[in-house]
Chains A and B, each alone.
Chain A
């Protein structure tokens, strides 16, 4: 009996797996390019994650549904496979059925002004297109959408009896908040242990965190290389891939460390050779959000070819990279709390007060010699869109141009790639860029 006959909820998951296999084949064809060797490794890690979930479903082994920035080191240390409930919009938004699914979500009664990533994820759960885990870890940050998605999950008939735990995020960035959230993470582990019968071994956790620290150290080292003019890489490789390795597929694994070593090695070669993604880097831009995953190939190559505009930095590629002190259990919990609540990309800006929107712009513009800051204004990022005035003022103080676009990162029909290109071209011309 085929897996989907017994587990119809696995249909989309298996389609995605096939899609990634196809992408891998395409990438292998370009294997002589060093960056493509790394992309193949990225896809391999992703395929491995998909494979582990399928194996768990087939063989009735425990696995988790979780989210990004919810201490994935813990799952690695407990040898528990997990998948991201929001994986399709984030990891597989190039799948050919994405737009059809967005329409189906709207028809379901979810309107069209709720973040598309949340809408899609609700749709996949409600339409029985998400794997049913042993237990679920529900994220209540960084925006209103995340807890709402999880409220729907909690209420869904098929998910209703699945045990769930949701750590509560405090709003501030202080010691009291850190202690509180560390307590929530401890309770989360007790919950996982209870429902999966896997114990957290503190020595294993220490080992995992040390690996994870090494990954973050290498990521930071890689980012230092991106300070060079020209930048060794543009949008094609960087933040999203690093994030996928460190926070999703390979959190705290030796394979993850190897991946980052290879990345640094490739970037160093480019820096030594003085080459970047375009023959002549004319504009160094800071894209202050996720990449437009749903239509990335229709837009970002154009920025480079038409304007010589290189995405030197993006929201998911740069944060404080604080190392976790593994000298005691207490310090590990506090370190995990800090990394996931205060440092993690998007969460660090959107979860709490808006200070990090301004602080990150200041730091990145200065460190990376940025010529222009682009706030894409994704239709789902309501808190960020209520911060545009603060971002604009910050850029004015820094004397760097700032543009707010207004788009949907996943649905190219909201603002079409042509409309966005036109808006950007007019702005670049008006600012005398490029």
Chain B
């Protein structure tokens, strides 16, 4: 399934998903710019932007093996950190000037421990302590975490992150969120001008280039899509729900069976942009803490929020007129296993069909995915 997008700017976005150091980042580096890699979307990117650096959401695009990292992780670990750490060991992340980790899950948080010990040439490596709950003491804790990281960035990179520059970065990132939301709004149409896999490419690209430049490019794409209609030949409208998914090819396999993905609850999707950072708070660190801990749509990493997550998924599903939901989960991910277990029950009660898919980080087993997607579409009568 393809839309008629024949756009230069889209090709640049698409290119960014196929490589780590994409051409935009290469230019940034050539101009002396610095890049900070970050694991998990709960790391406040705004802080990195405010320091005059570019943030890069860690992924293992292009990885074909975990040969070296298998000595540090084991076969019951998720393939995402194993591929990522393998690339770290083979020097593929040498373009990074620093890495910020967070205790997001049992697999990914150990990247910090291993990286610190076994990739010694990384000069700046930090871990943030993200709370499990969303109450006021936890927001206060994360506000302090943000300020501590702020001080470390200032010290290491010799910059000053004033409240003013931080607010400027927050406004810039909020603009990114608004533009991305506009893109999603187009997908509510009966004949969306952009597919799910193409949208994912746009979203992934947004985590791999300077935000100001990305915003300009995204504005251009939105202009190009004005008034455009997609083929509308899909069998069903679907929503994707799950953890890290940065490979548009995975979504394309589903869409090639006729299931057009029109929205999602993903951390390369709506969870990072559906809600904005509140700009009407005095302290920018407080605003960021509230956003990352309590205000944006959460993932199962946060305790006590399942009902909100479930309502979010059901509301989005209805808003985008979806016929069914695909829950994707990386093998060995406890968080999404249990979340999908509970969500499946909630969706059943709401009369929304759900397909649960386990996958490896690097897309493979396409035949099986194709068969399951086909069977699901038939099950929902499409």
What CA separation (Å) do A122 and B112 show in the bound complex?
A: 30
Q: Which residues of A contact B118 (CB under 8 A)?
A: 389
Contact at A382–B77, with CB atoms within 8 Å? yes
Q: Which residues of A contact B303 (CB under 8 A)?
A: 138, 140, 147, 150-151, 154, 166
Contact at B75–A144, with CB atoms within 8 Å? no
How many A residues face the partner with a CB closer than 8 A?
53
Question: Given contacts A114-B334, A154-B304, A184-B137, are A386 and B131 in contact (CB under 8 A)?
Answer: no
Question: Given contacts A145-B334, A166-B132, A166-B303, are A382 and B141 in contact (CB under 8 A)?
Answer: no
B379 interface residue per 8 A CB criterion: no
A158 interface residue per 8 A CB criterion: no
A170 interface residue per 8 A CB criterion: yes
Contact at A379–B129, with CB atoms within 8 Å? no
In the complex, the chain A residue whose C-beta lies closest to that of B303 is: A147
A129 interface residue per 8 A CB criterion: no
Partner of B113, one of A109, A113, A140, A387: A387
Question: Given contacts A114-B334, A151-B306, are A168 and B131 in contact (CB under 8 A)?
Answer: yes
Contact at A389–B306, with CB atoms within 8 Å? no
Q: Nearest Cβ in chain B — how far from A355, in angstroms?
A: 8
Contact at A109–B334, with CB atoms within 8 Å? no
A111 interface residue per 8 A CB criterion: yes
In the complex, the chain A residue whose C-beta lies closest to that of B331 is: A113
B314 interface residue per 8 A CB criterion: no
Q: Which residues of A contact B74 (CB under 8 A)?
A: 377, 385-386, 388, 404, 406
B154 interface residue per 8 A CB criterion: no
Contact at B342–A152, with CB atoms within 8 Å? yes
A240 interface residue per 8 A CB criterion: no
B107 interface residue per 8 A CB criterion: yes
Among B355-377, those with CB < 8 Å from A are none
What CA separation (Å) do A247 and B132 show in the bound complex?
A: 24
Among A100-145, those with CB < 8 Å from B are 108-111, 113-115, 118, 122, 138, 140, 143-145
Question: Given contacts A140-B133, A168-B137, are A390 and B337 in contact (CB under 8 A)?
Answer: no
Q: Which residues of B contact A406 (CB under 8 A)?
A: 74-76
In the complex, the chain A residue whose C-beta lies closest to that of B342 is: A155
Contact at A166–B307, with CB atoms within 8 Å? no
In the complex, the chain B residue whose C-beta lies closest to that of A115 is: B334
B258 interface residue per 8 A CB criterion: no
What CA separation (Å) do A387 and B111 show in the bound complex?
A: 9
In the complex, the chain B residue whose C-beta lies closest to that of A147 is: B303
Contact at B335–A387, with CB atoms within 8 Å? no
What CA separation (Å) do A111 and B332 show in the bound complex?
A: 10
B110 interface residue per 8 A CB criterion: yes
B72 interface residue per 8 A CB criterion: yes
Partner of A147, one of B73, B107, B112, B132: B132
Q: Which residues of B contact A118 (CB under 8 A)?
A: 334
B103 interface residue per 8 A CB criterion: yes
What CA separation (Å) do A184 and B133 show in the bound complex?
A: 12
Q: Which residues of A contact B196 (CB under 8 A)?
A: none
A401 interface residue per 8 A CB criterion: no
Q: Nearest Cβ in chain B — how far from A417, in angstroms?
A: 19
Partner of B335, one of A138, A144, A176: A144
Contact at B300–A148, with CB atoms within 8 Å? yes
Among B85-142, those with CB < 8 Å from A are 103, 105-107, 109-114, 117-118, 127-133, 135, 137-138, 141
Q: Nearest Cβ in chain A — how far from B359, in angstroms?
A: 13
In the complex, the chain A residue whose C-beta lies closest to that of B144 is: A176
Q: Which residues of B contact A163 (CB under 8 A)?
A: none
A353 interface residue per 8 A CB criterion: yes
Q: Nearest Cβ in chain A — how far from B329, in angstroms?
A: 9
A172 interface residue per 8 A CB criterion: yes
Contact at B113–A151, with CB atoms within 8 Å? no
Interface string of A169-183 (1 = CB under 8 A from B): 111100011001001
Q: Nearest Cβ in chain A — how far from B332, in angstroms?
A: 5
Q: Which residues of A contact B73 (CB under 8 A)?
A: 385-386, 388-389
What CA separation (Å) do A386 and B114 show in the bound complex?
A: 8
Q: Which residues of A contact B337 (CB under 8 A)?
A: 110-111, 113-114
Interface string of B3-25 (1 = CB under 8 A from A): 00000000000000000000000
What CA separation (Å) do A108 and B344 show in the bound complex?
A: 11
What CA separation (Å) do A1 and B337 show in the bound complex?
A: 40
Most chain B beta-carbon contacts within 10 A, residue among A187, A382, A392, A404: A382
Contact at A383–B304, with CB atoms within 8 Å? no
In the complex, the chain B residue whose C-beta lies closest to that of A143 is: B106
Contact at A354–B113, with CB atoms within 8 Å? yes
B341 interface residue per 8 A CB criterion: yes
What CA separation (Å) do A111 and B117 show in the bound complex?
A: 34
What CA separation (Å) do A180 and B110 show in the bound complex?
A: 23
Q: Which residues of A contact B206 (CB under 8 A)?
A: none
Q: Which residues of A contact B106 (CB under 8 A)?
A: 143-144, 350, 382-383, 386
Among A311-355, those with CB < 8 Å from B are 350, 352-355
B380 interface residue per 8 A CB criterion: no
Contact at A389–B114, with CB atoms within 8 Å? yes
What CA separation (Å) do A151 and B78 show in the bound complex?
A: 22
Q: Which residues of A contact B129 (CB under 8 A)?
A: 170-172, 177
What CA separation (Å) do A404 and B76 show in the bound complex?
A: 12
Q: Which residues of A contact B127 (CB under 8 A)?
A: 171, 353
What CA separation (Å) do A148 and B107 show in the bound complex?
A: 15
What CA separation (Å) do A168 and B304 show in the bound complex?
A: 12
In the complex, the chain A residue whose C-beta lies closest to that of B138 is: A168
B281 interface residue per 8 A CB criterion: no
B71 interface residue per 8 A CB criterion: yes
Q: Nearest Cβ in chain A — how far from B357, in angstroms?
A: 12
Partner of A144, one of B113, B128, B141, B334: B334
| Sample (6) of A-B pairs whose CB atoms are under 8 Å apart | A108-B341, A111-B337, A113-B331, A114-B337, A145-B334, A387-B114
Q: Beyond the given A122-B338, A168-B133, A177-B129, could you list 16 further A-B residue pairs with CB under 8 A, ordered by the A residue number?
A: A144-B106, A147-B303, A154-B306, A168-B135, A168-B141, A187-B137, A377-B74, A379-B76, A382-B106, A383-B107, A386-B72, A386-B111, A386-B114, A387-B113, A388-B72, A404-B74
In the A-B complex, the 4 residue pairs with the closest CB atoms: A389-B72, A386-B110, A171-B129, A354-B113
Which residues of A approach B to under 8 Å, CB–CB? 108-111, 113-115, 118, 122, 138, 140, 143-145, 147-152, 154-155, 166, 168-172, 176-177, 180, 183-184, 187, 350, 352-355, 377, 379, 382-383, 385-390, 392-393, 404, 406
